[in-house]
């Protein structure tokens, strides 16, 4: 192999390693954001359930109110 070709291959490998590192950082940051969003959704769902339970005053959601 000639020297120029070897240098070209080495520079491509270096570029690919840098790109892989950047992609790994991006995936990690996205996973952190996804975890925060899932926690927020779970918290909101619990809050909505609590509000619905308080509004129904103990009446099951499938039953009609007595005035119907």
pLDDT at site 53: 83
Q: Alpha carbon 16 to chain centroid distance? A: 26
pLDDT at site 36: 98
Q: What percent of the chain has pLDDT over 90?
A: 69
The reply to whether the predicted model has a pTM over 0.75 is no
CA pair distance 46, 52, nearest whole angstrom: 10
Rounded mean pLDDT of 47-65? 75
pLDDT at site 52: 84
Which tens digit of pLDDT belongs to each residue from 17-34? Answer: 999 999 999 999 999 999
């Amino acid at each position: 192999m000639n020297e120029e070709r070897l240098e070209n291959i080495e520079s491509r490998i270096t570029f690919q390693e840098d790109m892989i590192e950047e992609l790994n950082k991006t995936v990690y940051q996205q996973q952190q954001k996804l975890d925060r969003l899932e926690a927020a959704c779970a918290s909101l769902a619990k809050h909505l359930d609590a509000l619905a339970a308080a509004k129904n005053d103990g009446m099951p959601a499938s039953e009609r109110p007595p005035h119907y």
